[in-house]
Amino acid sequence: MQQDFPDAVINSESLGVRALGFLLSRPTDLADFLDAMGMEREDLERSPCGQHQLTAALEYLLIHEGLLVQFTLTTGRPLEAVYEAWRAIGKPRERLRAAV
């Protein structure tokens, strides 16, 4: 059964928060993440659960396969869930219009 789009976005945002928390728990990976995404630690402190931050965290995991595998093992979520969450958060307004 397919979820309604708003529910999918909420679940995606939850996975994005978990991805960000995963990176925050790994100081070396966090530093690499911030550098690669052109962000500062202050960006996370100002808006830790903003769309940009959550999308960036999921994207970073998708780019780094080893981290992605560790994250999916930690969360028990399939690899595809990370990709779908990234898509849902990255373009929610466009997808919402398409679903209507």
Q: What is the pLDDT of residue 11?
A: 87
Q: Which residue has the tokens 């928390």?
A: 21
CA distance 80 to 23: 19
pLDDT in tens, 10-57: 689 999 999 999 999 999 999 999 999 999 988 888 887 888 899 999
Rounded Cα gap, residues 21 and 17, in angstroms: 6
Phi, psi of 21 (to 5 degrees): -60, -40
**pLDDT for the residue numbered 92:** 53
pTM: 0.80
